[in-house]
Amino acid sequence: MTDIHATAGAPPVDAADDASRRMPMPSARTLLVTAVILGWLGLWWAAVVHLDVSKDFLPTPYEVAHRILVLAYEPLGAGTLWTHAAASLVRLLSGFAAAVAVGMPLGLLMALIRPVNHMVTPLFELFRYIPPIAWAPFAIFWFGAGNNAQAYVIFTAAFPPILINTFRGVELVDKRLIDAARTLGARAHTIIAEVALPGALPYVMTGLRIGLAGGWMALIAAEIVAGTGSRDGLGYLILQGQQSLAADLTIGAMVLIGIIGTLIDIVLQRVEARTQSWRH
């Protein structure tokens, strides 16, 4: 509560800028974000304590954090917190890698070769409106309940945005740049590698970010629905919390999912900024 007031009553923007100029770390923005998060946590805590909420209904932030910390050294199911997070990340990356390996070349071919576009588009339009989780039972038919089925569900979530953005990006590359490359003697492979792909990169990066975020969200669903048999993953933790009526575990796993998702996106933003230094 107090934190929120402190933020609201903070000095005007120019003063905050001034502060950020004097202090190299942490920046004004980081401080603001931290203050806002602390404010919400405070609100949560105050609500639970003042309204005397049952622990099974909504635990305090402290209880949630404590449960997660315990999980960091005390195994549950297949292992500790790290085992579960790593299991989820491995599934995410394998599904995502497959989506990149199929989506990017296909998007590129669709943009470059019209018949490919005509053939793939109707199928793709159908495909992309099927929610990833609807694939889960089918994925189990094909791959059996386990990592591959889960990776496939992630694939279905990450694939459409990667394909669409690659396609759009390549299609929107300035045709005059392609003409310029051709008059300088460039052949198809050079044009693809040095003009089409770098030109499409901003779009491709956006597609990767959306795809990875979508894949991460689909993963948890996949672990809950298609995860029968495996005893690891953050989705498994959520399910365990539900089955043992441990709200602190379920919420803790959810918070972790949010944190890891944010971290992944931050990494990708860094990569994006680095690959596009020429834009600034």
Partner 1 sequence: MMRAAADCGHAAVDLQPPGDCGARAVAGFRVALGSRSIVMTNDLEYENVVMEFRGRGATVRALDTFNFHVAESEFVVVVGPSGCGKSTLLHMTAGLMHPTAGRVMLGGSIITDPGPDKAIVFQNFSLFPWKSVRSNIDFGLRINGMPPAERNELIDRYIKLIGLDGFENHYPRQLSGGMQQRVAIARSFVMRPRVLLMDEPFAALDAQNRQLMQEELVRIWSAQRPTVMFITHSVEEAVFLADRIVVISRRPGRVKKVLDVTAVAGASHWRMDPFEDVIRRPDFQELRAEIWGLVKSEIQLRS
Residue of 16, 35, 116, 186 interacting with partner 1 (CB under 8 A): 186
* Rounded distance between C-alpha atoms, residue 25 and residue 22, angstroms: 9
Interaction between residue 204 and partner 1 (CB under 8 A): no
Interaction between residue 278 and partner 1 (CB under 8 A): yes
How many alpha carbons lie under 13 Å from residue 32 in its C-beta half-sphere?
13
Closer to partner 1 by Cβ: residue 88 or 166: 166
Residue of 70, 199, 217, 260 interacting with partner 1 (CB under 8 A): 199
Residue of 64, 140, 151, 201 interacting with partner 1 (CB under 8 A): 201
Give me the least distance between CB of 194 and partner 1, in Å please: 7
Give me the least distance between CB of 176 and partner 1, in Å please: 5
Number of C-beta neighbours around residue 64 at 10 A:
23
Residues binding partner 1: number (CB under 8 A): 23
Stretch that binds partner 1, among 9-17, 36-44, 125-133, 180-188 (CB under 8 A): 180-188
Give me the least distance between CB of 185 and partner 1, in Å please: 4
Interaction between residue 279 and partner 1 (CB under 8 A): yes
Q: How far apart are the first and last CA of the chain?
A: 40
Give me the least distance between CB of 139 and partner 1, in Å please: 39
Give me the least distance between CB of 188 and partner 1, in Å please: 12
| Cis peptide upstream of residue 26 (ω within 30 degrees of 0) | yes
Burial annotation 219-228 (CB, 10 A radius, 16+ → b, else e) = bbbbbbbbbe
* Rounded distance between C-alpha atoms, residue 172 and residue 157, angstroms: 24
Give me the least distance between CB of 189 and partner 1, in Å please: 10
Interaction between residue 125 and partner 1 (CB under 8 A): no
184, 202 Cβ separation under 8 angstroms: no
Interaction between residue 192 and partner 1 (CB under 8 A): no
Q: Determine the distance from the C-alpha atom of residue 93 to the mean position of all C-alpha atoms in its chain, rounded to a whole number.
A: 11
Interaction between residue 100 and partner 1 (CB under 8 A): no
3-state secondary structure 130-158: CCHHHHHHHHHHHHCCCHHHHHHHHHHHH
Tokens of 76: 């549950």
Residue type at 175?
Answer: K
Residue of 22, 50, 176, 274 interacting with partner 1 (CB under 8 A): 176
Nearby residues of 4 by Cβ (< 8 Å), 6 or more positions away: 36, 39, 42, 43
Stretch that binds partner 1, among 13-21, 93-101, 240-248, 271-279 (CB under 8 A): 271-279
Residue of 18, 74, 125, 179 interacting with partner 1 (CB under 8 A): 179
226, 140 Cβ separation under 8 angstroms: yes
Closest CA to 213 of 106, 96, 81, 97: 96
Q: Given the rule CB under 8 A, which residues bind partner 1?
A: 174, 176-177, 179-187, 190, 194-195, 198-199, 201, 276-280
